[in-house]
Every structure is written in structure tokens, then in C-alpha cells.
Amino acid sequence: MRAFASDNYSGVHPLIMQEIINVNSDDMSSYGNDPVSEAALELFSKHFGSDAKIFFMATGTATNTLILKHITNSWNSVICADTAHINVDECGAVEAIAGIKIIHAEAVHGKLNVESIAPLLAGRKDVHQSQPAVISIAQNTELGTVYTLAETKAICDYAHEQGLLVHMDGARLANAAIRLGASFKEMTVDCGVDVLSFGGTKNGCMCAEAAIFINPEIGKNFEFVRKQGMQLISKMRYVGAQFKALLTDELWKKNATKANELATILAHKVQEISEVKITHPVETNAVFVTVPPHVIPQLQEKFPFYVWDESASEVRWMTSWATTEEDVENFVSSLKDLI
């Protein structure tokens, strides 16, 4: 099967699988007290600084939810875009597990800005209202768009002025980095991001996410939250192995570059088709388009993908590290045939 549904339809990159196999010998300490996990943490430190507190996790939903739980009190709220994964794709985990309220600012192409955030701070100090404590932005966004370094910095500066923290949902951080031509450090630490959900799974891993407290003070005691939050994998070496491979020889960069390039190619090809309209800037590995409704089911049969907004006949096509140029050609050719 070749799919344009999500980058999580892809398998595990061969170099990552090889590292998993490499560490499969002998007994090793569990729960992350093993040399493989330690080596992976070391590699992370090169990107995020040696002060950062880093915790490996099994799912992105857990990473977002438990970070937000840890850096808030029950009477706090988190500000995000209405399209944010934490708002619409985590089955209420933030509310149920973290116990906090989500309030959303208007967003353009999935991106917040200071103007859209500011009005949400009006009720501060009023005991009847949940108190905003965190701004959560996704980089790249759920619509495939990317905050520029200046945009990220502006939000962080405003947040800090107002006594808020900034969380970045980086489930696809690598794809955003490629688009920006920036290092992980430049797009997070240097902009003032306080805490990051770092995604490995969608970029070629099997099951590897990380909570990265760039601001180490707010990461204190997160080890208890991870355990209680049911995310302390016992045979952690296998998560460590995935990150070790991903962060070695810039594999993360190669994988994300390929995914982004193929989305760009796909976007270029479909732009020529007058019945197809791109609905959001194609900046990473997602292409959002409206297509004639009748082609959707037939095209999905050959190449699975998601309908984004049924009423608008809007669909999402995603590429991954595993997508090939041939896949894109076949896909576009089928699309053209159906139209």
C-alpha cells in the first residue's frame, strides 16, 4: 500500500530498525537507566543544551498532555488554535488527564499571533475565570504551515511579558526545521520556547516521542508525572535506539527533507489541475486541497487519505520519509484520470 493519509502510515526507516536490532542483546537496566537511552539523551543535549530535561515517551498525545499537566495548576487554561491537535485530536485528554481548560484564539492557516491571543487574557485575576498560563503552538501546524523564527519569538516574548509559558507541539518539528532552514536550537531555545513535544514517530521512528523541558526549572519532578502518566516504558533501550539513529548523521534532516520535497512536487503538479484548489500554503509535508467530491472515494481506494472538511470537499494529502517520486506521479496520474 502507498498512502497519502498521514506520515504515520509509513514504516520504520531501515537505519532506525538496524539500531533497534543492534541493542537487542544481553540484559539491560530498565526504565531508561541504560547506556542506549543515555547515548540518545546525549545527542539531544547537543541540540537543546545540557540543561534541558528530556524524557522519552510513547505517544504524542501523552507528551502534549503530560507536559501541559506538569506546567499548570488545575485552575489554569491553555491557549491554542482551534485547529490544534490538543484541542481536536486527543479525545479530551487535556481536560480529562490534565484537568485544565483549553481556550482557543482565532488562527490564520493554523497559526496564532499576539493580536489573537491578547483578548483571551482579559479575565486574569478574576477568581471566576480559568487563568491562562500557557500558549501552545504547533510547529509545523496541523495545517502544514510554519511559524517564522520572528513569529515564534514574538509569541514567546509576549507570553513571558504576561507571565505565561510557551509550549511547542513539535510532532513534526523536523519538517518545520527544513522549511525554516534553521536548527532545532534556533527555532526553539533561541526563540524562547519553554517546553517542547519532540516527535520521532512520524519522521521514521517506530514509537519515539520526547518531552523536552528547555527551561529545566519547569521540568523538575516530571519523572513522577511520566510514570504516573503511564508512559514509563520498561524496555526503554528500544526507544533510545530509535532516537540514537534519528539524531545520528542527521537522519532526521534527510527524512524530513524528502517528505517536504515530495509535498512540494505534489503541490506543483496538482496546481496545474483547474478542478483542484490548494487551501493552505504548502510549507512542509501536507497538501490541503479542495477537489471535486466524486473523485474522493475512488482515489482513496488506490491511495488512502483523509477528508478534512466534507462540506467543503477539502482533503489532506501527506507525504513521508517513505514516499517516492514515483508514488507522487502515480497518485497525480490517478487523480487526473478520475477528474
**Interaction of residue 133 with a second copy, rule CB under 8 A:** no
Q: For residue 217, what are the contacts with CB-CB under 8 A and spacing of at least 6?
A: none
**Interaction of residue 8 with a second copy, rule CB under 8 A:** yes
User: Quick one: which of 31, 39, 154, 290 contacts a second copy (CB under 8 A)?
Assistant: 31
User: Quick one: which of 37, 61, 255, 264 contacts a second copy (CB under 8 A)?
Assistant: 61
Q: Is 49 or 99 the residue whose CB approaches a second copy more closely? A: 99
Q: Let me know: does 173 contact 206? Beta carbons within 8 Å.
A: no
**Interaction of residue 232 with a second copy, rule CB under 8 A:** yes
User: Quick one: which of 147, 184, 238, 331 contacts a second copy (CB under 8 A)?
Assistant: 238
Backbone CA torsion sign across 82, 83, 86, 89: positive
Instruction: Report, in Å, the least distance between residue 83 CB and a second copy.
Output: 13
**Interaction of residue 312 with a second copy, rule CB under 8 A:** no
User: Quick one: which of 206, 273, 338, 339 contacts a second copy (CB under 8 A)?
Assistant: 206
Residue 208 and residue 246: Cα distance in Å, rounded? 10
Tell me the site size for a second copy, rule CB under 8 A. 78
Of 195, 188, 325, the residue nearest 269 (C-alpha): 325
Give the strands of the sheet with 209-213, arranged side by side. 53-57, 209-213, 195-199, 165-170, 131-138, 76-81, 101-105
Residue 256 and residue 271: Cα distance in Å, rounded? 22
**Interaction of residue 50 with a second copy, rule CB under 8 A:** no
* Piece in contact with a second copy (CB under 8 A), picked from 98-106, 152-160, 248-256, 329-337: 98-106
Q: Is 89 or 337 the residue whose CB approaches a second copy more closely? A: 89
Amino acid identity of residue 209, one-letter, is E
Cis previous bond, 73, omega within 30: no
Helix (H) or strand (E) holding 228: helix 222-228
CA distances from 141 to 67, 107, 129, 212, 310 (A): 18, 11, 28, 18, 20
Looking up cell 494529502 gives 317
Q: Is 75 or 216 the residue whose CB approaches a second copy more closely? A: 75
**Interaction of residue 96 with a second copy, rule CB under 8 A:** yes
Instruction: Report, in Å, the least distance between residue 237 CB and a second copy.
Output: 8
Q: Let me know: does 61 contact 279? Beta carbons within 8 Å.
A: no
**Interaction of residue 230 with a second copy, rule CB under 8 A:** yes
User: Quick one: which of 250, 310, 325, 337 contacts a second copy (CB under 8 A)?
Assistant: 310
Q: Let me know: does 316 contact 2? Beta carbons within 8 Å.
A: no
**Interaction of residue 130 with a second copy, rule CB under 8 A:** yes
Q: Let me know: does 81 contact 110? Beta carbons within 8 Å.
A: yes
* Piece in contact with a second copy (CB under 8 A), picked from 135-143, 146-154, 231-239, 277-285: 231-239
Instruction: Report, in Å, the least distance between residue 28 CB and a second copy.
Output: 6
User: Quick one: which of 2, 109, 302, 336 contacts a second copy (CB under 8 A)?
Assistant: 2
How many CB atoms are located within 10 Å of the residue 206 CB? 16
Q: Is 20 or 212 the residue whose CB approaches a second copy more closely? A: 20
Instruction: Report, in Å, the least distance between residue 146 CB and a second copy.
Output: 22
**Interaction of residue 313 with a second copy, rule CB under 8 A:** no
**Interaction of residue 102 with a second copy, rule CB under 8 A:** yes
**Interaction of residue 75 with a second copy, rule CB under 8 A:** yes
Q: Which residues pair with 56 in a beta bridge?
A: 210
**Interaction of residue 218 with a second copy, rule CB under 8 A:** no
Residue 326 and residue 58: Cα distance in Å, rounded? 32
